[in-house]
A and B are shown apart, each in its own frame.
Chain A
């Protein structure tokens, strides 16, 4: 895994916050995932990656943060559907930016949104995944990059 490819995902997340006019996200110290057991918060948006590199990237965050985000973009009602849409939108933005950066070598799927601890995130077993903790306001979220 190269530093540059992971930075693309981090920058994509920053872009998202910038797009919705929110304050920038702060990035924590990245670490490796123990025994590749996926970490997940309340809502997770997963982007599958194929092509030259295989694996996935996902963004996971607590419900409260999504609710805050929804309200800050003027949404008055907070339903599960809205929350899923929001995390999907974040994942989509990350995917969209990454697609621009990586070009045709990377094939990026449409985001899959999962609520709760995901059972079906398949992480590659021949490398450790990198967890990039992110913090926005007081909410802890994370980008997990799992690339072969």
Chain B
């Protein structure tokens, strides 16, 4: 406190102190002057009395002598004479050397000796004259009337007094005048000093006044600047800031963002409850109030209750200027505003964390996908960029085709099944390609899509609305492809090709075929080796090569999944543990034959018959009437599979129907050579382009068992 006073307000304090000191000085001076004046007045009075006493002495002496002569009573006049002489003597001595005398009122008082030259001269001369007179008076008073000494003294006194009476009067008059002059001089001096002191005090007063005013003006300017800065801060700051008092009422100052967040209103003096009324339910409001009460309680440690803040993330719907509602996420922070160790207010900070929350949600979503994407990324590391890009492009086009299938108008309930089957074929091809390229997340997404298709296929009385999950799954697949393309582009951008793929001669993708076969074998606990002889591949028409590659992949998949047995079974059947799959392109008179041969268990005709019956494809009678080659052809019909459960490699009965559809499209022919328990070979003939026309007349399949 004092340090503060002597710091900031030192000049003012000193000025005020000086003013007080000066005032006090003037006051003391006043006292002094008045006491001096009183003293001087007394002196002048006493000097005047001496004048009077000198005459009274003479008068009383002569009266005394006359009374004695007429023989009257002298008692009164004698006493008067005695008093006058004694008082004169006492007062003169007091004037001369300083000492006691009796005042006009009869009180004893002290008198200082007069010290100016004129006074001293008057006193000295008086003493000289009075000295001899006083000796005679002593003699007079020491004896009774009638005694010789008394009469002698009286006789001597009469001429002495008569002679010196006027001299003494004059001397006492001089003394009086001199004392009066001294008093006048002194009072003049004192008045001058007083005037000077008062002038100084007034000057000091003006000094204080101007100093104060200047300082006030300066501090006002500083305060105004600070206020403006505070206003600017409050206007600019993104957080909603305001203070709450102990009654939870909002203070007069709050940041502009408060209005942005809660709407354009005056919030000063509003209760916190009123502010939150529309956004916080009553029970939560109570919790908030309890929390604030805890904060206002100085016994409670602030950092201990920080985590109790019930409004750290509040989702609210607030009206917008356009009349709609907007969902915002607000975060309230409460801090104690402490002054002199006392909790004065609670500072409330409101942050609009809507963006933060949405970013967090995005991040969470992204994190959920990361697991998938890291796996995908790992796989993509191994994938040839060109094949991958080609695959993605084709898959995208395929999905567009699926969407077109969905879009086609439905005229009968069969159209629904058609949609399902067509979609199946496309999705299955995507799955196959993805599997061959080893992109597991696309494989599994396609697999899930197929599962949905399976469920739809089994449903009775299909309706348009039943396809909704499929449409959404299609959307997800589209997105997955986009994501994969994004990852790929990021990944390949920084990658420089280490090994340029040298493709002097077009060929089947051996690596892909091998990878697919060994992956399926590995998943199913089988062993397999694939031999590819594709020397004739360049002679296949350019536009058919992709189809041949796809068909070979599907047939190899089929061979490994359905043909090759697990090692234990093979060994017990007298075969080598590892199954052999051979892909061969052979030149024939009418074209090129593409053969996929496996030394597996072959096609079990009874099992095919059984499955066809189970799947309700044909009645028992129809199946009974079928020739073996017709039975074999069932494996190319949509929805057929001999596997009990579907996994990503097979069992859904799609794949072979795609092969068949594709081969039919280019007017090729399929041939199946099957020996149950020993081997199976599925081949198809690609007709020479020149002969295509004549062969197109026969679109039947060659089927030989």
Contacts and interface: CB of A to CB of B under 8 A. Distances in A.
Contacts of A107: 317, 324-327
B465 A130 contact: no
A109 B326 CA distance: 11
B133 interface: no
B479 A127 contact: yes
A29 B464 contact: yes
Contact of A127 (B409, B416, B465, B475): B475
A132 B327 contact: no
Contact of A30 (B326, B327, B416, B468): B468
5 contacts: A3-B469, A27-B463, A32-B471, A52-B327, A107-B327
Interface in B307-348: 317, 324-327
Interface string A1-21: 111001100100000000000
Nearest to B464: A28
B8 interface: no
B464 A30 contact: yes
Nearest to A130: B471
Contacts of A7: 465, 468
By DSSP majority rule, is chain B's interface helix, strand, loop, or mixed? helix
Contacts of A104: 317, 327
Interface in A19-51: 26-32, 34, 50-51
A74 B12 CA distance: 92
B403 interface: yes
Nearest to A6: B468
A29 B410 contact: yes
7 shortest interchain CB distances as A-B pairs: A28-B464, A31-B406, A30-B471, A27-B465, A29-B467, A31-B407, A51-B327
Interface residues of A, number: 26
Contacts of A3: 468-469, 472
Interface residues of B, number: 25
A101 interface: no
Given A29-B471, A32-B403, 5 more contacts: A6-B472, A26-B464, A28-B410, A31-B407, A51-B327
Contacts, number: 74
A128 B473 CA distance: 12
A130 B472 CA distance: 8
Contacts of A75: none
A118 interface: no
Contacts of A130: 468, 471-472, 475
B474 A132 contact: no
A147 to B, nearest CB: 11
Contacts of B324: 50, 107, 109
Interface string A106-122: 01010000000000000
Interface in B240-272: none
Given A29-B419, A109-B324, A34 B475 contact: no
B141 interface: no
Which of A30, A104, A133: most chain B CB closer than 10 A? A30
B212 interface: no
Nearest to A140: B409
B205 interface: no
Interface string A124-135: 000110101100
Interface of B: 317, 324-327, 400, 403, 406-407, 409-410, 416, 419, 463-465, 467-469, 471-472, 474-475, 478-479
A1 B472 contact: yes
Nearest to B462: A29
A17 to B, nearest CB: 15
Contacts of B471: 29-32, 130
Contacts of B400: 34
A50 B469 contact: no
B475 A32 contact: yes
B404 to A, nearest CB: 8
Contacts of B409: 28
B110 to A, nearest CB: 103
B326 A50 contact: yes
Which of B325, B326, B406, B468: most chain A CB closer than 10 A? B468
Given A26-B464, A32-B478, A51 B472 contact: no
Contact of B403 (A34, A109, A132, A133): A34
Nearest to A11: B465
Contacts of B472: 1-3, 6, 130
A26 B461 CA distance: 13
Contacts of A34: 400, 403
Which of B327, B400, B465, B474: most chain A CB closer than 10 A? B465
Contact of B465 (A10, A32, A51): A10
Contacts of B474: 32
Contacts of B467: 29-30
Nearest to A2: B472
A128 B409 CA distance: 20
A32 B474 CA distance: 8
A29 B468 CA distance: 7
Contact of B468 (A105, A127, A132): A132
Nearest to A129: B475
B589 to A, nearest CB: 47
Nearest to A128: B475
B475 A1 contact: yes
A128 B403 CA distance: 11
B26 to A, nearest CB: 81
A128 B464 CA distance: 19
Contacts of B410: 28-29
A28 B478 CA distance: 21
B327 to A, nearest CB: 4
A27 B465 CA distance: 6
B216 to A, nearest CB: 55
A10 B467 CA distance: 13
Nearest to A109: B324
B327 A29 contact: no
Nearest to A135: B464
